[in-house]
Structure 1
Amino acid sequence: MRNACLNQNTSLNFDALDERDYPSLTGLTKPQFDDFCSHLLQHIKTTPKRSPRTTVGLFLVKLYSGMSNKLLSTIFGLSKSSVRRAIETVRLISMRTFVPLYLGIETVPRSTLIQNHTRQLAKTLFNADDNQLILVLDGTYIYINKSNNFKFQRRSFSMHKGRPLVKPMVVVTTTGHFVTIVGPYLADGKNNDAAILNHMLRANIQNFREFLQEGDILVVDRGFRDSLTLLTDLGINAEMPALISKGQKQLSTKEANSSRLVTKVRWVVESANARIKRFKMLATVLPCSQVPFIGDFVRIVCAICNKYLPALSSPSQTEADTQVAQQMLLLAERANTLQEYVQERGLERKLKVWKSVEDVPFPRLSEENLHDLTLGVYQLKLASSYIQEHLTGAYDIHVHVDDTSLLTVRLQSRHTSSRRYLMWIRSSDTAVEAWYCQCRAGARVVGMCAHVSAIVWYLAFARHQECTRYGVRDWGSHLEDAATFQIDSSSDSD
């Protein structure tokens, strides 16, 4: 293939590339690619085999596609050593000329981060004023091969993921703007998220502690729980989902509501991490020889995202964000009356008070009404898959014999085969009034858990549509299942 490309002169050349091919090869449009090149070309030399634009294009193709150097050498008509030198050249120049302009604490003033990169929803939910900065932190994972250096193998093995990896710490604003990337760190138990944040603050990595001011808010997940004491001592507020105590099976309504306020803001760092993994090189398993350069590659990708990709959430929707935040704060103060009703009457144990009906009475709602109930889109995205399994399994939606406005459903967990969640939903002719599920977050009234959302989505909306197929195709039908094999005991032993 390499000889054919060289003989026919059909190797990839970014000096004569069609504009439509830029996004599929590099993840950038042609104007964006030209702008990226403007930061680098004057520092890249022309060689007999490749121009400076082709050198930059090769680097971005490597990042975006994750192809091996051997395959890139075939596509670009270059030797493997030339491909390696091109990638190294662009990486070093990018870290010197491009990344410092678009990634780092010094690139954007603190006041600009507060004004232009902070959602009004987050300010309202956490009661922040115009001087408080809200940041979201989380560690992401870059997988690597197992090393024959046994000490490094142990230190890079993550018990959480069950494989070797390194962990960059990602710091973003509530709109998804990358503020800085710290690390990457080792992945053993001594380098969990809390330990990394403590190290960032105590060692003042990248002047992070000086950058923060008293009263600032860090939105984190439960993995940062061991950092709460240090943050409190520094006068920094931490917003974290509630923890389930030992022996506790379900969050209380107040705990579940407060956790939903946090996750309403914290999702942005998960989406930011997904943007990093859109560059397939960082989503594949990298050889250990690339470990010294992983931090550079992650920073280059984040700088590209800051420069060329739109914000994950727009800070300009202040009125809509304020209304949603105020609604969530109002609901967070309420108790789950249906939970109290179910527990007082022991309805989870009384089977004879429920009856199965063919046409379940339920109000008909629009998609906008459903969004108002769930206060998010994640739960509704899962609804179709939940209903797919529910309809093909035990279809058990029951209505109370004395109160047709109250129904109960038992829904299969998507994670554990042996677990099914029992839920109750109360409705009127025009609205869904109350809900309660026995899952961990099912007692909340700020939005719904995914199980309740699935049933409400189906009864109020999906079953009235023309489409009767839910979820996605079951690819397991194309595979063998040893569990279905049974030996015929009546067959002759011979």
Structure 2
Amino acid sequence: MIFLKWRTNSEFVNVLNHLEDESNENIIDHDHKNDNENFESAMETSTDEPIDTNTVLLPLNVAVSSHGECCICRKVLKSGLCTVSELDRDFLFIKSNIFIEKGSRCCEEHIVNGRLHIDALNQIRPNKTVKSSFSSSDILIWFSKFRDHCNSISLFDFSIPFYMSDIDCYNLTGISKDHFNHLSEKLSNSSMQNSFNRSIRNALGLFLTKLRLELSNKVLTTMFKFSNPKAVSRILSTVREALSSEFVPQYLGFQSISRQDVINTYSSPLATRLLSEDMNTVVLVADGTYSYLQNSTIPQVRDYLRIACALVNAYRSSAISSFMNDDIIVTKMLENLHEPNLLRVRINDEILRWVDGDASQLVNFPVLSIDQIRTITVGVFQLKQARSYCEEHCSTTHLDNRADFPLQICVNDPQLIRIRFKSRHSNTKTYYTYISFSTQDILNSCCDCPGGDRK
């Protein structure tokens, strides 16, 4: 689009026509000479004759240019001055048609590793429009810069100044741009070095993309423009070793965190009250159900697992969160810990008759608040599973359609219902869930599944 704006500028077109006329004149002047003379003349023209110095005036959007004012945020500069690099000045002109004059200054906070941060580039606005003179040599130089820029464009470039959007970075790597910058700084202290065909940051981006998306090395070769899958394999191995030595020990294992930090950050008051009388106790739950892999052909899996766990610890929020009604839940659970489920006793002892029904017959069923629901489900885990439970009984994933829930109402007690559910673990098993209710609240519940009688 920028080139199109230039190409439709009348004065710029005159420059191109002038260059074209000169080229045609050279062809006519040498039309009767032999090939050797043409070659020698071309060599003399390219090396000895000066390029035409005629100039053309072009309107330019110019940013603030001052040694005492930031060209980005326009604050008065007193200390921490930085000069905008030529690379950033060229990129901004190509990208946004805003020209920053040579020697312009900016605040130190806008610079990351010697380059302007992408947010700073997006913040720059033109201060005025001026007409500047360009010679044919200047035009050719800018053509060269345009060509170099187009050839260097890559959709998967993690190098500074890191123009990738935050959402694209997250979709590829699973972490934000700020977290990626933090992680790349960790690797700068490792044995990894930048090479002519890949930077540390691009190598890290390649590794995280592999870890998150499980793409084959052949696909990654195409995405990141490497020569062959073996080069990708070598880079993955190098990054894995660097992360295992420089990053994982800081965010995984007992040596990476203090006991008090575990209590303050990762312990749930609900679990602590249930399992201990001392609130300063660390409650540790270890689940290794899916962590066993006895296959010597893929020995790196352990390293990948440790790196993934360290990334979660470093850049993801805690999976445990407290709610205002946690105390109510704990109190209720402790009170009923050794008490039998009276609804289960009633179902086992009485002969109850059931008839099929639907929701329209349950006009007295209570409308529950979110806190009441959390008290029943003891947190939000079951709430997150509710949609998948419902979808199993719907013809489509649109829950507005009619759901096939076998609902039955007790003839002996209209405020006692039961619903048949499929087992989560076996399609051949079904269970009944019983609910006793009033017009204000759920009085009791139980289920035929294992552990379903807990209150």
Question: TM-score band (shorter)?
Answer: 0.5 to 0.7
CA drift at 1:33: 0.8
TM value normalised by structure 2: 0.57
How big is each residue's C-alpha offset from its partner over 1:269-326, in whole Å with a ceiling of 9 and x where there is no partner? xxxxxxxxxxxxxxxxxxx75x221111111121121111111114xx4875344322
Matched, 1:52 2:200: yes
Cα separation, 1, equivalents of 2:406 and 2:269: 43
The correspondence for 1:91, drawn from 227, 230, 240, is: 240
Cα separation, 1, equivalents of 2:247 and 2:350: 65
Structure 2 CA distance for partners of 1:434 and 1:68, relative to 1, 3 Å:
same
Could you tell me which residue of structure 1 aligns to residue 169 of structure 2?
A: 22
2:452 maps to amino acid:
G
1:126 maps to amino acid:
L
Matched, 1:66 2:69: no
Do the aligned partners of 1:398 and 1:409 also contact (CA within 8 Å) in 2?
Answer: no
Cα separation, 1, equivalents of 2:409 and 2:280: 52
Structure 2 CA distance for partners of 1:346 and 1:59, relative to 1, 3 Å:
same
Do the aligned partners of 2:273 and 2:279 also contact (CA within 8 Å) in 1?
Answer: no
Could you tell me which residue of structure 1 aligns to residue 320 of structure 2?
A: 313
Structure 2 CA distance for partners of 1:113 and 1:78, relative to 1, 3 Å:
same
Do the aligned partners of 1:22 and 1:28 also contact (CA within 8 Å) in 2?
Answer: yes
How big is each residue's C-alpha offset from its partner over 1:73-126, in whole Å with a ceiling of 9 and x where there is no partner? 111111223222211111111111111112122122234323433221111000
Structure 2 CA distance for partners of 1:384 and 1:115, relative to 1, 3 Å:
closer
Could you tell me which residue of structure 1 aligns to residue 331 of structure 2?
A: 326
The correspondence for 1:298, drawn from 286, 294, 305, is: 305
CA drift at 1:395: 4.1
Cα separation, 1, equivalents of 2:388 and 2:442: 22
Structure 2 CA distance for partners of 1:45 and 1:426, relative to 1, 3 Å:
closer
What is the correspondence of 1:182-331 to structure 2 with a 5 Å cutoff?
A: 185-186=293-294, 289=297, 291-314=298-321, 317=322, 320-331=325-336
1:346 maps to amino acid:
I
Q: Which structure 2 segments of 5+ residues have no match? A: 1-149, 395-401
CA drift at 1:34: 1.0
How big is each residue's C-alpha offset from its partner over 1:458-477, in whole Å with a ceiling of 9 and x where there is no partner? xxxxxxxxxxxxxxxxxxxx
Do the aligned partners of 1:22 and 1:30 also contact (CA within 8 Å) in 2?
Answer: yes
1:30 maps to amino acid:
K
Cα separation, 1, equivalents of 2:324 and 2:421: 37
Q: Which structure 1 segments of 5+ residues have no match? A: 1-6, 142-166, 169-184, 188-287, 446-494
SS in 2 for 1:313: coil
Structure ranking higher on relative contact order (CA contacts 8 Å, 6+ apart): 1
TM value normalised by structure 1: 0.53
Could you tell me which residue of structure 1 aligns to residue 256 of structure 2?
A: 107
Do the aligned partners of 1:412 and 1:420 also contact (CA within 8 Å) in 2?
Answer: yes
How big is each residue's C-alpha offset from its partner over 1:418-446, in whole Å with a ceiling of 9 and x where there is no partner? 4433343322222221223322222221x
SS in 2 for 1:61: helix
What's the Cα RMSD here? Answer: 3.0
Could you tell me which residue of structure 2 aligns to residue 433 of structure 1?
A: 443
- Which of the pair has more CA radius of gyration? 2
How big is each residue's C-alpha offset from its partner over 1:23-79, in whole Å with a ceiling of 9 and x where there is no partner? 122111111111111111243222221122212222222212211111111111112
SS in 1 for 2:434: strand
Cα separation, 2, equivalents of 1:394 and 1:116: 41
SS in 2 for 1:341: helix
